[in-house]
Structure 1
Amino acid sequence: MSESLEHWTEAQLRTLSTDEYDFQEFKASPYLGTPQGIAQNFRERMSKQISAFANGSGGRIFIGITDEAKIDGGVPVNLRGGGMRAWLEDVLPKLVTPPLRSCNIYEICSDASEDSLILPGHAIYIIDIKESSSAPHQALDLRYYLRIAGKSRPMSHVHIQDVLRRTRTAQLTCHRFSTYGKIEIDKSDSRGPVAAVGFRFHISNQSTVMAQHVGVELSIPRDLLPKKLRQQILNNSEIAYTQQPGRMLFFRYHHHPIFPGQELYVLMVYIGIHKSNLSYLKTGAAINWKIYADDAQPAEGSINPLAYSQVQQAIQIIEQHSYKNPQKNTPTK
């Protein structure tokens, strides 16, 4: 789906693709109404469209645009007292069960140019529907719909099951992975100075479902984690530690539910930068993360430490020290 726009213009409407996709539907103005009033079966037909978009990945319905993506003059803006936009905002979310939590309506009037295709006192209406975490939504005819091959079609039993699984589990993700504290220099390591950089891992619940059981896992390359820093991480008694070839895994179970929209800090880790791992760090060493939430599929991703300015500063510190104190060769006897 294309990027959401908060402000639409007639010029943008003229650039719309002539194709209808799973995320885009064109309806001519009489679909909504004529100067004589609201179309008799508008609610029933619109209910199917809203059900289909909300049960799928969301999308936009353009009213006042023909199947050929041409502006047809628009819908009269005064068909209802208080204006058509306000009326649509009140009516459309209630055309499905359960009602939509949100539905954005855009009203595009003439740009007043000589070649404007929107008639005076008329407007094009865009109904912007997001993928719904309350799906599946039932239409007024007591059926469920989905966008399939550019059309709103009745859902099969398999489709309904898929949507139910999608919306009954919490969706957690990495909200922020950021450096924390100052760079600490440890000069007691046998390999030379080690510059330690701390990171805090924050997660958030982006769904409308509360997460009851949550665990987070960070996988750090062994070469970036000297023994002292590993022990510093494990000073938190809630963190469990395992090893895999070339990597160290730190896991923490979060003991409290995470509510919809909630963001919180869950784990602190460190990496150590020294002259022996500089080349490895510069070739793309990654910290991998994984979040487990109830029965949902784990969310996972990776982070490149080089993207952080504090890591770059630590590299410079180690490089400068190595330049000032080059390793001396021991003379042979």
Structure 2
Amino acid sequence: MLNPREWTEEYVSSLPVGEFDWLEVKGRRGLDLTLPQVTESAVRETLAKAISAFANSGGGILVYGLANPTEIWAVDDGGVDLKVKGSGTREWLEDVIPTLVEFPLTTFNVYAIQRVSENSELAPGRGLLIIEIGDSDTAPHQSVIDHRYYARIGGKSRPLPHRLVADIFNRRRDPQIQIDFWFEEAERRSNFPVLQGQRPIIDTHLHFRATNVGRVLANYVNVVLYLPMSLMPETNLAGGENRELDGKEYLVLTKRNSRRDVVGSEGFSPRYGPSWFDPILPGRSQTWDIFVRDMLWPDHVWDEEIIWELYADNGAVTRGKVAVREISMKT
């Protein structure tokens, strides 16, 4: 799709017809204050509702000046007057939009498509108004007209229930961490060379990664893993503790976004300093790996599940699980 700043009258007529969460189209009467019975209060009310909905739903585009289509969009009655206010319709929208929601909206653009040829359906002095609303960092946004929060649901702007409003607040305040897993087979590292004719030892590792997919830095991340004992080697090198859950035995491990610097050595072994938390920035991740049994597992192991609990700063605890057979093998 073209950037809205590049839209033309012809391009707008080719937009998909229907109701979409990312697009809302209104006719001339939705904005043109030069028409009788079109009041500024009504325009502000419907505009505030749409702005709140798009800003709370990841952004979208609002178009004024198109008629309800049969097959394709057409200009409604010559389009919207480009001077509904003294400074111009586009300039008036740029001034009024930030004031229609609380918190004030900053991530938006307004464009006007004007008549450029004799074949245009736009009348002289009229046009199509395109309002592009971005994904807002300060959501949720409340309409200042009716003091409601809206979102785009099923192609319409609908009031948000309290639970979803609270969820949007938390997304802005707390880090959003995504967990994923994969297996990998790797040759065991050794300080001694492999002798001629000797086969290298292949170990199986379970890797898991915590990725910050939100916009807030994650200072403290704790991941508690419940690993089926049937997945673990007979000699436990991972630490943790054994625990029974729903009649099954698990090894419970806790991993944190902490690191320890090497501060010296003791014989052939490194000596580590105290641990410190390494924050996970938005878009960044931290990965851990755990030794597991080799891949020649009996069928029942593939049906086992890994359970995890995630604690990130002061956010709500999130929980999940994944079947062993659903975890990919990296080659």
Please classify the TM superposition score into its range, dividing by the shorter chain length: 0.5 to 0.7
CA 1:21–1:123: 2 relative to 1, 3 Å: same
Residue in 2 aligned with 1:262? Answer: 282
Q: How do 1:134-283 residues align onto structure 2 when only pairs under 5 Å count?
A: 134-141=138-145, 143-147=147-151, 152=157, 159-160=161-162, 162-168=164-170, 170-174=174-178, 183-185=186-188, 193-197=201-205, 199=207, 201-204=209-212, 206-207=214-215, 214-220=221-227, 222=229, 224-227=231-234, 230-231=236-237, 233-234=238-239, 240-243=240-243, 245=248, 248-253=251-256, 262-272=282-292, 274=294, 276-277=296-297
TM-score if structure 2 supplies the norm length?
0.60
Aligned pair partner of 2:328 in 290, 295, 306? 306
Residue in 1 aligned with 2:105? Answer: 100
Amino acid at match of 1:124: L
CA 1:216–1:83: 2 relative to 1, 3 Å: farther
Maintained 8 Å contact 1:171/1:296: no
Amino acid at match of 2:74: K
Q: Which runs of 5+ in 2 are unaligned?
A: 191-199, 259-276
Local SS of the residue matching 2:102: coil
Residue in 2 aligned with 1:32? Answer: 31
Q: How do 1:102-121 residues align onto structure 2 when only pairs under 5 Å count?
A: 102-105=107-110, 117-118=121-122
Local SS of the residue matching 2:50: helix
Greater helix proportion: 1
Amino acid at match of 2:129: Y
Separation in 2, partners of 1:115, 1:286: 65
Residue in 2 aligned with 1:318? Answer: none
What is the CA-CA distance between 1:186 and the residue it aligns to? 7.5
Separation in 2, partners of 1:11, 1:246: 65
Amino acid at match of 1:31: G
Maintained 8 Å contact 2:181/2:328: no
Aligned pair partner of 1:292 in 311, 315, 327? 311
Amino acid at match of 1:32: L
CA 1:305–1:45: 2 relative to 1, 3 Å: closer
Separation in 2, partners of 1:277, 1:289: 22
What percent identity do the matched residue pairs reach?
27
Separation in 2, partners of 1:306, 1:119: 59
What is the CA-CA distance between 1:179 and the residue it aligns to? 8.5
Maintained 8 Å contact 2:55/2:135: yes
Maintained 8 Å contact 2:179/2:208: no
Separation in 1, partners of 2:226, 2:109: 41
Q: How do 1:1-40 residues align onto structure 2 when only pairs under 5 Å count?
A: 6-7=3-4, 8=7, 10=9, 13-16=12-15, 18-20=17-19, 24-33=23-32, 40=40
Separation in 1, partners of 2:251, 2:91: 56
CA 1:150–1:202: 2 relative to 1, 3 Å: closer
Separation in 2, partners of 1:109, 1:221: 65
Maintained 8 Å contact 2:142/2:150: no
Local SS of the residue matching 2:142: coil
- Map Cα deviations across residues 8-45 of structure 1 (whole Å, 9 max, x no partner): 56555335455446654321234334789x97444444
CA 1:134–1:164: 2 relative to 1, 3 Å: farther
TM-score if structure 1 supplies the norm length?
0.59
